[in-house]
Amino acid sequence: MRRKHFLMAAPQQVRLATPKSSAVLASALALAIALPLASLPAQADNSAAPATTPATATLPQAMPASSATLPPLTQLIKQNRDAVVHISVEGDAGANNPIPGWDLDGMPEEMQKFFRNLPKQMPRGRSTNSMGSGFIISPDGYIVTNTHVIDGAKTITVTLNDKRELTAKLIGKDSESDIALLKVEASNLPVAEFGNSDGLEVGQWVFAIGAPFGLDHSATQGIVSALSRSLPDGTYVPFIQTDVAVNPGNSGGPLFDLNGKVVGVNSQIYSRSGGYMGISFAIPSNLVKNITEQLKTSGQVSRGRLGVGIQDLDQSLANSFGMQKPTGALVASVEPSSAADKAGVQAGDIIIGFNNTEVTSASHLPLLVGSTPVGQQVPLKILRKGVEQTLSVTVDKFVSKDAPQSPVANAEDAAMTGALGLAVSPLSGEERSKASLGESGVRVEQVRAESPADKAGIEEGDVIITVNNQEVKSPEDLKTKVEQAPADKPLAVLILRNDQKRFVAISRS
């Protein structure tokens, strides 16, 4: 799986709940729930009672049904487990982990980068397995899971509770929300129904069904610990935090309420060890419903975008801006020609309201903007030099990396498909600016097997910056520079991979 989804925080880490190998625990895990006995009340003072009258113990009054009984989990699990599936993925051994069998994600971030940038030693064609969970949302076979569960997959196999194994087709995925939609060819399948995640409250009972460590249809329970959590790599998701036991393999599985409705999709855990430590995160069902409907209709997700770089304020910054408390999103930069730029937003502005909703933090703003229809004009309330102003902004379209790339729709027209076995597409201005590439850089979209580029270790997603120390500004420019280079000498190609630059020699002979 692509490791960008792992949220590292040394020595703790927020991890995707997906194992990196197909190994299954040999021993079963036993869960014992110890129920404390009800304490009897203190004995009444009987000093004034006649000596012949024995003291009578007062029995405790019956507790209300809501607190005296545990949730009816047995029946709820029976009703919903058939709709939960186990997902097995087979992919390219070199796609995400250059050292198959090693869990690079448990390493510090700098070590991950080192190993991921090693030259490829494993021949292509070798396969690696991973697994996760999912759940059926329609009788005709639509299944929800996490994007990180199926990323890089060549084949996706879904195992039902009745042991049937079906090959799944990827309908669409959305990396920003970590939601993917699959489809299997079947009918009359059991279905898990979506509930209303907006109605959740802290302390509410919830339970999960999934395949931790490959142990199919394992059920765990807990409560909602917090709502609308923002994580570093989950900008567009207001996560549900729970203390439900979630481990590698639970990713993509459902989180249920006590009505038996899906209120979330289990996605990540916070851990020092890589295993469950009492904090897990789920994607709210209301967001999942919106994402899956778009994926089913168009195969991709449309989001709004402002084009600003923002940060949170601390108390010192708030004081410097004349604010009593740190709130809102401080604008650090404005992208030229973006929606924010056209509306007149400036660096140093503090966005305190969007579309008549208060903006409480920098992580809050993307959630509001992302859910706004593209092209809609909305009021943007800002604080500039201590004075409140309201601007009118027309929301731009956010272009996801999962969106189809039109420049490579026709492989015959893609640059260098014949020469080096590559298909490439241009980078956007935002992508070049973010990577500090100036005007150079093209993205590798396809690599033909056994081609010169493939043998040199070029991968999909690499960004080609220069060829023989000459900047590459477009697919056409790349093709020209390759054709002009001496055919009997290897090309010195500078690429960007995982935020690190390195040279690769590509021989055409």
Two tokens, residue 479: 């093709």
Two tokens, residue 154: 């060549």
Distance CA 487, CA 507 (A): 8
The string of DSSP letters for 302-338 reads -EEE--EEEE---HHHHHHTT-SS--SEEEEEE-TTS
Annotated active-site residue 178? The verdict is: yes
Question: Counting Cβ atoms within 10 Å, is residue 100 exposed (0-12), middle (13-18) or buried (19+)?
Answer: middle
Q: Locate tokens 């168009």: which residue?
A: 298
199 phi/psi in degrees, rounded to 5: -90, 0
E strand spans, 363-459: 377-384, 387-394, 396-398, 422-426, 442-447
Q: Are 326 and 313 in contact (CB under 8 A)?
A: yes
Active-site residue, from 130, 197, 225, 251: 251
Annotated active-site residue 402? The verdict is: no
Q: Are 127 and 154 in contact (CB under 8 A)?
A: yes
Active-site residue, from 178, 257, 396, 454: 178
Q: Locate tokens 């997906």: which residue?
A: 18
Q: Are 380 and 390 in contact (CB under 8 A)?
A: yes
The string of DSSP letters for 155-186 reads EEEEE-TTS-EEEEEEEEEETTTTEEEEEES-
Say how many C-beta atoms besides its own lie within 10 A of residue 372's C-beta. 18
Dihedral of alpha carbons 205, 209, 214, 216, sign: positive
Active-site residue, from 148, 197, 257, 440: 148
Q: Are 231 and 240 in contact (CB under 8 A)?
A: no
The string of DSSP letters for 72-124 reads -HHHHHHHHGGGEEEEEEEEEHHHH-SSTT--GGGS-HHHHHHHHTSPP-SPT
> Which residues are CB-neighbours of 226 under 8 A, at least 6 positions away?
202, 240, 241
> Which residues are CB-neighbours of 440 under 8 A, at least 6 positions away?
432, 465, 466, 471, 472, 473
Annotated active-site residue 148? The verdict is: yes
Give the residue from 105, 131, 145 showing the smallest Cα distance to 271.
105
Residues belonging to the active site: 148, 178, 251
